Amino acid sequence: MACNKTQNHKLEDGKWRGEFSVSDQQFPFLFEVQGAATDSATVYLINGAERVPLNGITYSNDTVSIPIEAYDAILTGVVTDGKFEGKFKKLFVDNDEGVPFIAVKSDAPRFEVASTPATTSLAGKWDIDFIGQKGDTTHNVGIFNQDATILTGSILTNAGDLRYLEGALTNDGFQFSAFAGLSPYLIKGKFEGNDSFTGEFYTTRGATKLIGKRNADAALADPYGLAYMKKGYDRLDFTFPNIEGQKVSLSDPRYKDKVVIVSILGSWCPNCLDEMEYLSPWYKENNKRGVEIIGLAFERKDDPEYVKTVLSRLVKRYDTTYEILFAGKLGDDATAKALPQVSKIMGYPTTIFIDKKGAVRKIHTGFNGPATGLFYEEFKQDFNKVVDDLLAEK
């Protein structure tokens, strides 16, 4: 009878809990499968309020492949007796060994409930310093919410935020994790009194030390002060191909006498995707007011077919109607070559505001996405004010 038993090598509908294994750490992640019995099954990666849909699941013999098109990656493995075991691989990396994971169909929470949860509340704003292996320190801001022992929130850096984090209290601190398709994150912290903590931020590349201090007025450096026009320059001059290979220039008639927003982005960049999710519908509502947007994409490869594929996916995903141009292969000096008039670009995305006369008026580094709550609302208000003021000028 055992020999005749039929094995089900397909994912089943419902919630699943998995763990990535990285060095000596386990990075938990959650997902839900819907429509498993159909040809259009969807896997939703879950991080707090976020649900990231993954479509195009395929089966080959006993192998399951779940493409993560947004980040040119894949979850692939074998399902046996309700256990999904395999690897997360980045397709843009040649011969990537991948990150191993095991997932089981379960309603279990992301983290096991602590026996005696810490009584300190993590809710609120925190100054958080990331301390590198060489002792270099980067100042960031944490914004967290707490519902009993369940935690959500994000950490903001000057290059963007860590998006949706979900976690729980431990006996002496807290832990968060997230996986939205690019790379798994794990954060562990230990309270040092009611208003400080120490901890580690783990990625597949290693660990970074954290020091947090409660601060209701926590803030980042001025995002308008990190990148600027070089002395003697007040405008940009560029020509790059669009997705179809046609040359598009900032000096084209389409942009003459209009307010122009230049968004420096990459299809691989989560914060850039958050910005596009905001900009695409915003443009449709506002472009008739005399404003244009140009996206300058820097990609992992400069192969024309690769670029066309990843940027076409991007445009389709957000139904983007403004031009996305390929500005060069990602690298330390990529933005310097593409935009020699600008000082060093500090992060992706970076947004440049140009007035009707063609002069650069402001350069904003980073993007506070929807995971940051009030910071996101403040960004939208500021963005619209900048555009409104430029449009009001003669």
* Whether residue 354 is found in the same domain as residue 289: yes
Integer Cα distance of 153 and 92 in angstroms: 30
* Whether residue 373 is found in the same domain as residue 339: yes
Residue range 44-68, pLDDT digits in tens: 999 999 999 999 999 988 899 999 9
pTM for this predicted structure: 0.91
* Whether residue 94 is found in the same domain as residue 128: no
| End position of a domain, from candidates 78, 105, 132 | 105
What is the residue range of 190's domain? 124-214
The pLDDT value given to residue 2? 47
Work out the average pLDDT over 223-232. Answer: 95
The pLDDT value given to residue 7? 55
The pLDDT value given to residue 234? 96
The pLDDT value given to residue 10? 87
Residue range 189-202, pLDDT digits in tens: 999 999 999 999 99
Residue 349 has pLDDT above 60, yes or no: yes
Residue range 251-275, pLDDT digits in tens: 999 999 999 999 999 999 999 999 9
* Whether residue 73 is found in the same domain as residue 147: no
* Whether residue 161 is found in the same domain as residue 203: yes
Residue 168 has pLDDT above 50, yes or no: yes
| Average pLDDT for the chain | 94
Position 3 in a domain: no
Residue 369 has pLDDT above 60, yes or no: yes
The pLDDT value given to residue 394? 86
Position 133 in a domain: yes
Residue 381 has pLDDT above 80, yes or no: yes
Position 384 in a domain: yes
Given the DSSP bridges, would you call strands 124-131 and 99-105 parallel, antiparallel or unpaired?
unpaired
Residue range 329-343, pLDDT digits in tens: 998 789 999 999 999
Which has the higher per-residue pLDDT, 284 or 4?
284
Integer Cα distance of 42 and 46 in angstroms: 13
Residue 364 has pLDDT above 60, yes or no: yes
Position 128 in a domain: yes
Integer Cα distance of 73 and 71 in angstroms: 5
Work out the average pLDDT over 146-171. Answer: 95
Which has the higher per-residue pLDDT, 332 or 3?
332
* Whether residue 366 is found in the same domain as residue 244: yes
Q: Give the pLDDT band of residue 211 (cuts 50, 70, 90).
A: very high
Work out the average pLDDT over 273-297. Answer: 97
Phi-psi region of 108 (alpha: psi -120 to 50; beta: other; left: phi over 0): beta
* Whether residue 201 is found in the same domain as residue 273: no
* Whether residue 252 is found in the same domain as residue 347: yes
* Whether residue 245 is found in the same domain as residue 382: yes
Q: Which residues, in sequence order, are bridge partners of residue 20?
A: 27, 101
Position 229 in a domain: no
Q: Give the pLDDT band of residue 276 (cuts 50, 70, 90).
A: very high
First-to-last alpha carbon distance for the chain, in angstroms, is 84
Cis peptide preceding 304, ω within 30 of 0? no
Residue 82 has pLDDT above 90, yes or no: no
- Asked if 327 and 243 count as a contact pair (C-beta separation under 8 A), the reply is no
The pLDDT value given to residue 61? 83
| End position of a domain, from candidates 198, 214, 230 | 214
Position 114 in a domain: no
* Phi, psi torsion values for 129, nearest 5 degrees: -100, 130
Domain CATH code at residue 172 = 2.40.128.120
Angle of CA points 281, 282, 285, to nearest 5°: 90
Domain CATH code at residue 243 = 3.40.30.10
Work out the average pLDDT over 353-368. Answer: 97
| End position of a domain, from candidates 52, 71, 105 | 105
The total domain count for the chain is: 3
- Asked if 334 and 328 count as a contact pair (C-beta separation under 8 A), the reply is yes
Residue range 115-142, pLDDT digits in tens: 999 999 999 999 999 998 888 899 999 9
* Whether residue 268 is found in the same domain as residue 207: no
Position 373 in a domain: yes
Position 230 in a domain: no
* Whether residue 163 is found in the same domain as residue 267: no
Work out the average pLDDT over 8-34. Answer: 94
* Whether residue 63 is found in the same domain as residue 19: yes
